Amino acid sequence: MPRLAMLIDMTRCIGCDACTVACKQENGTPADVFFARVLNIESGHYPNVKRMYLPILCNHCDDAPCLKSCPNKAIVRRQDGIVLIDQDRCRGTGACVSACPYGNIYLNKKDEWYLDQDEPYEKDFVKPRLEENVARKCTYCAHRVDEGLDPACVVACPTDARIFGDIEDPESKISKYIVEQEEQTGREPFYLLPEAGTKPAGMYLGPMARQESHTGGNRASSEGTEPISHTSRLPEERRQGQSRDARAFLNRKMTLLRIATAVMALMVACFATAQSQMEPAALKIYTDSACSNCHGDHGQGDYGPAINVSKMSQDDFMKIVRKGVGDDMPETSAEEMSDADVIALYKAFKGAGTKVEKPTETPTEKPTEKPAEQANVQATPMEPNALKAYKKSPCSGCHGDQGQGGYGPAIDTSKLSEAAFMKIVRKGVGNMPETASDELSDEDALAIYQTFHKGPLQVEKPEPMEPATAGDAYTLSTCTGCHGVTGNGGIGPPLAGIALTEDQFLSTVRSGKGMMPGTPASVLPDETVKQIYKEFSAKKVNEDEVPISFKVGRFLSTQNVGRLFLFIFIIAAIFGFNNLFYWLRAAGLKQLRPYIAKFGRVRAAGVVVKALIVEGLGVASLFRKDKFRWAMHGLLIYGFFGLMAADIWMQIVNPARSDMSMVSGPKLLAVIAGVSVFLGLCYVLYRYKKDEYIDNGMTLGKDFLFVNLLFHTIISGFLTVAINKSGANDWLMTVYIYHLASISLLILTAPFTRFMHVWVAPSMVAMTRLVEEITASGVDIGFEREPSPGRHHKSQRIAAQIVSMFDPEANDEVKVRYYP
């Protein structure tokens, strides 16, 4: 693929500005707009001064900040690398003006021209080509390039200092020149502001002239005047440059931020690696296997639960692997994973333990707590036939091969009637699926009933429930479906050791909470509920029986979710601020600081706040140019604000996040805001369908990610509400977690997706306004003299780089001068 690039040889350039004028003529630019310009740099002190000329033009960056910052996607990158601003699509927002670290984008509210109104030269041939209040910049003369011609500045350069062509083609003029110059003069091309990370297509070769200076140290001979000492210099403070302290301060701050980011990253990394205590070989088997797709890279759990084999025999493990469990975990054939590998994994996980849930526990510390092993030793043998039937049945997949419990609870039929048992088997309970008679014959089922009538074959017997009637009431209630047969939890939390008061318990049962449905008194009389409460509030929870899912679920308490989001917000904020600092650096904030000080910090803050409100919140540029687009954009932006407001409101009136009526204030606001965002999003999707800039050459993936995440978030949000209302509780948790996960991802990825335009565009526009105000106020002679106002500080940054490269002794004694 071709990549057009321009090389400027500083040895050849004589700073004549022919390019500047040729460009003006070719592109018909108005006054103060210079797509091509030449920096006139001087450094050092007399007599050790150096002068350098540096032509500047759009670098058509591979990683163009202007393109990324444009909220309207009006900037595109062509296949050949040329970055263009679509003049029709640009809304004159001004974000790109600040985003370009080189200061190569021009936006004039009102164009000034050079000639009288009635001169056809300007009226008919120049003015019609560009519109005011639209961002404009060098196009590498795309219209000429398309006709096989070189850009105007290249053609007009009287010293051949500009070499243009396809850098990917080794036979092109530019490629050959680079090779030839490296051989002949030892010069290698360099880029401007490499720290900006823009990957520019503009390259430079350095000056060859030594520019030594020789003086005897006298003052200019003016007859009658005394020579002055060579060492007579200027006051120290003038040479020092006043920004040094400020710079050090900013550097320190940036360093702190970097350290903080690094520590965070390190913590995340440690957290991830702490779980991997497997041997590398086993780990490899695991990561290669399909298991890791769901259970996480280290078995720590991801889509599926964390792998915990502490309560499983090797056979159980094998069976689960081969047959699958539940709806989600599929069977795995021997072809996909050999027995030997499965055994190896079993051993590995046995050794590794389950650091996710109990990081401090290791299997060797608590060998006695392994029910499966103890069962093998201590269990009274089952009737061989029944055991055989049980082991063959799907039941053992969850309940353990000895019925001692595994993924599902231990089997204890002692408190069940035969009929109740059969009902549970055939119809399923909670997570437990129904089992048809062809999977398990009535005979076998009954045999199993008998076998487990004396309780499960486990060492740690649950403490007996009393009174038996209460146990029956509980077991027969729908509660077991979620809370587990032993009340140690299933899909729902364990009831044992419940911390609620009796009244709270009752009210929760009646009205439900979260995904738990309300149960009317007709189904479960108050008496029974109270009995159940009495029983479980006095009982101690058996941690080993609490299912993993609930251990995760318990983690998802309102507080924990809050904490989690806080954490996510902090992480996102770190990246986001880092990201924002990148843009502020690109906008030249550091170089602008001395001028802000002169301008007045309070005054500057006023300008910024006003811009943030008018241009950021109000999206004034869009409002000016296209009211409909503004309204559509408003659906999204104000919808978002509505969602945030609803959340804050909720936090104030209902911090526990218990169920509220749909017509309550926060809920209503959230729904309206959500609908607004949804509609806005639909418009975005509709636009994307027919948008020729869907691929602008750089941000497609990021845009796609953002839009999809947003879409998923909104949809899953609405689904959560809908499911909650419809009572399809089986899906509630899943969808809700999905919603939370989407939000988390949306926030975490925000600094890397198009979401970032939320803070990049307003901050860049605010910078643009600030620079405009500073320029207009004439606080500095540089801004006042500059032919293209508003980029003096960026020019200084470029000049500083050039001087540090070619006149390192001059330190920060750099001046960008404009004339003569």
Partner 1 sequence: MATRHAVPGRHHKPVKQANVRIVRTTDSPNCTGACGWLATVVDDTIVDLKPAADYDCAEYNPRGCLRGMAMTHLIYGPDRIKTPLIRQGERGENKWKEASWDEALDYIADKMKAIIRDHGPESIMLFNQVVGTGYVQKGAQVRMAALLGMSFGTAYDFNGDISMGYTQTVGIDSVECETKSWAHAKTAILWSSNVFQTRIPDAKFLTQYAKQRNNCEIIAIDPRCSQTAKGADQWIPISPGTDGLLALSMCQVVLDQGLVDWEFLKSFTDMATLVREDNGMRLRASDVGLGSDMQFVVWDAAHKRLFVLPTDTLRLPDDVAPAFQGEWTVKVGGADVKVKPVFELVKEEVMKPEYSPEAVEKVTDIPADTIRNIAVTYATNRPSTIIVGMGVNHRLHGDLTIRSILLLSALVGAHGKPGESVSIYSGQHHFRIDVSPWWFPDGKRPNAIPVHYFSLGKPTESINPKIKFPKDGFKGLICSHANPLVTEFSGLVKQAVDKLDLFVTIDFQMTPTCEYSDVVLPAPTFWEKNELVATGCHPYLQIQQEVVPPQHQSKTEMWMTKEILRRIDPSLLKHFEMDEFGAMRLMLDNPDCPEVEGITVEQLQKGPVRLKVHDPECGLDAQIQEFKPFPPRAYPFPEGAQREFLKTARMEFYKEEAIYQKMGETVPTFIPAFSHMSEEERLFPFSIVTPHSKWRVHSTHCNNNVLRNLNRKPVVEIHPIDAAARGIEDGDVVEIHNNYGSYKLWALLTETIKPGVLCVDHGWWDQFLAEGKYHSVHTHQKIKPTHEAYYLPAVYAPGQHWKDTRVDVRKVN
CA distance 37 to 312: 75
Name the strands in the sheet holding 37-45, side by side, starting at the edge strand that comes first in the sequence.
48-56, 37-45, 814-817
User: Within 623-652, which residues bind partner 1 (CB under 8 A)?
Assistant: none
Does position 119 interact with partner 1 (CB under 8 A)? The reply is yes
For 171, phi and psi rounded to 5 degrees?
Answer: -90, -5
Q: How many CA atoms lie within 13 A of 481 on its CB side?
A: 16
| Pairing between β-strand 814-817 and β-strand 83-85 as defined by DSSP bridges | unpaired
User: Within 200-229, which residues bind partner 1 (CB under 8 A)?
Assistant: 207-225, 227-228
Q: What is the DSSP letter of 74?
A: -
Nearer to partner 1, 75 or 382 (CB): 75
Q: Map residues 745-784 to x or -, x wherever contact with partner 1 holds by CB under 8 A.
A: ------------------------------------x--x
CA distance 518 to 537: 20
Nearer to partner 1, 12 or 657 (CB): 12
User: Within 56-75, which residues bind partner 1 (CB under 8 A)?
Assistant: none
Nearer to partner 1, 32 or 168 (CB): 32
Q: Which of 73, 136, 399, 769 binds partner 1 (CB under 8 A)?
A: 136
CA distance 297 to 286: 8
Q: Is 155 helix (H, G, I), strand (E, B) or coil?
A: helix
Whether the CB-CB separation of 35 and 58 falls below 8 Å is answered with yes
Nearer to partner 1, 552 or 694 (CB): 694
Return the CA Rg of the chain: 36
Least gap, CB of 722 to partner 1 (angstroms):
45
Q: Which of 6, 39, 53, 348 binds partner 1 (CB under 8 A)?
A: 53
Which alpha helices (H) appear in 275-331, and where do they start and end?
A: 280-288, 291-295, 314-323
Query: How far from the centroid of its chain's Cα atoms is residue 394's Cα?
Result: 43
Nearer to partner 1, 127 or 513 (CB): 127
User: CB-based contacts of 237: which residues, under 8 Å, 6+ apart?
Assistant: none
User: Could you give the angle at the alpha carbon of 542 between the alpha carbons of 298 and 394, nearest 5°?
Assistant: 65
Nearer to partner 1, 114 or 303 (CB): 114
Query: How far from the centroid of its chain's Cα atoms is residue 118's Cα?
Result: 55
Nearer to partner 1, 69 or 451 (CB): 69
Nearer to partner 1, 91 or 483 (CB): 91
Q: How many CA atoms lie within 13 A of 605 on its CB side?
A: 3
Least gap, CB of 219 to partner 1 (angstroms):
5
- Determine the size of the site formed for partner 1 (CB under 8 A): 104
Does position 186 interact with partner 1 (CB under 8 A)? The reply is no
Query: How far from the centroid of its chain's Cα atoms is residue 339's Cα?
Result: 41
Whether the CB-CB separation of 532 and 477 falls below 8 Å is answered with yes
Least gap, CB of 778 to partner 1 (angstroms):
9
Nearer to partner 1, 194 or 778 (CB): 778
Least gap, CB of 281 to partner 1 (angstroms):
58
User: Within 229-288, which residues bind partner 1 (CB under 8 A)?
Assistant: 232, 234, 238
Amino acid at position 318, single letter:
M
Least gap, CB of 128 to partner 1 (angstroms):
5
Whether the CB-CB separation of 461 and 500 falls below 8 Å is answered with no
Stretch that binds partner 1, among 147-155, 196-204, 541-549, 621-629 (CB under 8 A): 147-155
Nearer to partner 1, 112 or 169 (CB): 112
User: Within 149-168, which residues bind partner 1 (CB under 8 A)?
Assistant: 149, 152, 155-161
CA distance 708 to 714: 10
Does position 18 interact with partner 1 (CB under 8 A)? The reply is yes
Stretch that binds partner 1, among 32-40, 306-314, 442-450, 652-660 (CB under 8 A): 32-40
Does position 294 interact with partner 1 (CB under 8 A)? The reply is no
- Which DSSP string do the residues of 617-661 spell out, in sequence order? IS-HHHHHH-HHHHHHHHHHHHHHHHHHHHHHHHHHH-TT-----
User: Within 790-819, which residues bind partner 1 (CB under 8 A)?
Assistant: 813, 815, 817-819
Whether the CB-CB separation of 90 and 112 falls below 8 Å is answered with no
Does position 130 interact with partner 1 (CB under 8 A)? The reply is yes
User: Within 508-537, which residues bind partner 1 (CB under 8 A)?
Assistant: none
Whether the CB-CB separation of 356 and 276 falls below 8 Å is answered with no
Nearest CA to 181 out of 313, 18, 12 is that of 12
Q: Which of 62, 86, 460, 812 binds partner 1 (CB under 8 A)?
A: 86
Does position 182 interact with partner 1 (CB under 8 A)? The reply is no
Q: Which of 63, 121, 434, 520 binds partner 1 (CB under 8 A)?
A: 121
CA distance 797 to 814: 10
Least gap, CB of 812 to partner 1 (angstroms):
14
User: Within 87-116, which residues bind partner 1 (CB under 8 A)?
Assistant: 87-90, 114-116
Q: Which residues of 457-490 are buried (b: 16+ CB within 10 A; e: fewer)?
A: bbbbebeebeeeebbbbbbbbebbbbbbbbbbbb
Nearer to partner 1, 42 or 543 (CB): 42
Nearer to partner 1, 38 or 532 (CB): 38
Q: Which of 2, 49, 580, 708 binds partner 1 (CB under 8 A)?
A: 49
Q: Which of 63, 128, 279, 538 binds partner 1 (CB under 8 A)?
A: 128
Does position 85 interact with partner 1 (CB under 8 A)? The reply is yes
Stretch that binds partner 1, among 128-136, 524-532, 595-603, 794-802 (CB under 8 A): 128-136
Amino acid at position 770, single letter:
L
Nearer to partner 1, 768 or 788 (CB): 788
Stretch that binds partner 1, among 12-20, 317-325, 373-381, 525-533 (CB under 8 A): 12-20
Q: Which of 52, 416, 465, 596 binds partner 1 (CB under 8 A)?
A: 52
Does position 303 interact with partner 1 (CB under 8 A)? The reply is no
Least gap, CB of 802 to partner 1 (angstroms):
12
Nearer to partner 1, 79 or 232 (CB): 232
Does position 20 interact with partner 1 (CB under 8 A)? The reply is yes
CA distance 312 to 342: 13
Least gap, CB of 583 to partner 1 (angstroms):
23
Q: Is 205 helix (H, G, I), strand (E, B) or coil?
A: strand
Nearer to partner 1, 138 or 196 (CB): 138
Nearer to partner 1, 184 or 360 (CB): 184
- From residue 48, alpha-carbon distances to 22, 43, 212, 213, 811 in Å are 34, 8, 7, 6, 12
Does position 690 interact with partner 1 (CB under 8 A)? The reply is no
Whether the CB-CB separation of 143 and 87 falls below 8 Å is answered with no
